[in-house]
Amino acid sequence: MVPAVHTVHTRVIDWFDEAARDLPWRRPECTAWGVMVSEVMLQQTPVSRVLPRWEEWMRKWPTPRLTAQAPTAEILRVWDRLGYPRRAMRLQAAAQAITDRHGGEVPGEAEALRALPGVGEYTAAAVACFAFGEPEVVVDTNIRRVHARVFAGEALPGQSYTAAQRRRAVELMPETGDDGGRRACAWNAAAMELGAMICTARSPQCAICPVADLCAWKLAGSPPATDRQRTRGQAWAGTDRQVRGTIMALLREHTSLAEAALLESPSLQGFSAEQRQRCLDSLTRDGLAEAGGGRIGLPGSPVGLQD
């Protein structure tokens, strides 16, 4: 049975008004740039890890113009261990484009946001919605899971964001009426929070869910996920991602390192010489590291200096 959509909207939004976490990028005084930085950092990264990094970033570079002017090596140091450091460089590239094309002000339209380097459909919609109140369809993993359980009776939404899920997300958006889209934006934020805090992937807290009595999955007896619905977790131990992350941590710690010393670092022992070299080469190709004079450093670092 498909629940009454309007009732679900009302209950989830009311729950969010009472239970939402007090996060700095949700506060009225947060700028559009602060919202954009948070959305990029939060991709595949939990709030607990993002919060200190976001706070330091905003202290150092509270505007796109200041971010664009910052040394890339310092950008990567502040990014620290958030993972996927190319996100940091894409964020700086977006800041440069905002400075050049929009006078240093984050544009408020999703189309203009999508035109920025490294900004995809989700980030553009989220910034337009959460920073500017535009009723864009925002769908992350948490929202997909809420949609799948409450409205489709499925345990999990699966790995891929399908065309059917996209249609469902559009259909579930509150209509934009006299409120100018405020209810639609509130639904996006509330559904995302419900998925993050209550309707979690592994341990859903159905006993305190505001729509448990309307949830199609709960009413069906909470059937387990099928193979199609499951999401395969990303391995970490022993992977190139782990090696790249370890190399980046070493480069953030030092001005530069001799390449031989870097590759023989104790923290890289246990990985093959071939894997260590391959990962270093890939970081250099990606622009996350620079080589010169037999030494390796972060982009823009004086690689000729001694550590």
pLDDT tens sequence across 176-213? 888 889 999 999 999 999 999 999 999 999 999 999 99
Q: Is the pLDDT of residue 80 over 70?
A: yes
- How many residues are there in the chain? 307
Q: Average pLDDT in the 56-84 region?
A: 97
Label residue 272 by pLDDT band (50, 70, 90): very high
pLDDT at 213 (0 to 100)? 97
pLDDT at 42 over 80: yes
For residue 257, list its beta bridge partners.
296
Q: Residue 204: which residues within 8 A CB-CB, separation 6 or more?
A: 149, 198
pLDDT confidence of residue 303: 66
Among candidate residues 39, 136, 154, 290, the one labeled active-site is 39
pLDDT at 1: 47
Question: What secondary structure letter does DSSP report for 8?
Answer: H
CA distance to 14, 19, 21, 159, 190, per residue, from 197 (Å): 15, 10, 9, 20, 10
Buried b (16+ CB within 10 A) or exposed e, 272-289: eeebbeebbeebeeeebb
| Residue 230 phi, psi (nearest 5) | -75, 150
Q: Model pTM?
A: 0.92
What does the pLDDT look like over 93-146, one tens digit per residue?
999 999 999 999 999 999 999 999 999 999 999 999 999 999 999 999 999 999
| Residue 306 clears pLDDT 50, i.e. is over it | no
Model confidence band, residue 82 (pLDDT cutoffs 50, 70, 90): very high
Q: Which strands make up the sheet holding 257-258, listed edge to edge?
A: 257-258, 295-297, 290-292
Residue 307: its pLDDT value, please?
44
First CA to last CA distance, the chain: 65
Structure tokens at 109: 């339209």
What pLDDT does residue 305 have? 46
Contacts made by residues 124-130, CB under 8 angstroms, sequence distance 24+: 126/35, 126/39, 126/188, 127/32, 127/35, 127/36, 127/39, 129/184, 129/185, 129/188, 129/189, 130/25, 130/26, 130/35, 130/39, 130/185, 130/188, 130/189
In which residue are the tokens 């001694």 written?
306
Alpha helix positions (H), the chain: 5-19, 32-41, 47-60, 64-69, 72-79, 86-102, 110-114, 121-132, 141-146, 152, 163-172, 182-197, 216-219, 240-253, 259-263, 273-285
Tokens 């006299």 found at: 178
Residue 2 pLDDT: 60
Question: What's the mean pLDDT in 12-40?
Answer: 98
Average pLDDT of the chain, as a whole number: 94
CA-based R_g, the chain, Å: 22
Q: Is 39 a catalytic residue?
A: yes
Higher pLDDT, 307 or 15: 15
Q: In which band, very low, low, confident or very high, does the pLDDT at 233 lie, cut at 50, 70 and 90?
A: low
For the segment 261-276, the average pLDDT, to the nearest whole number, is 96
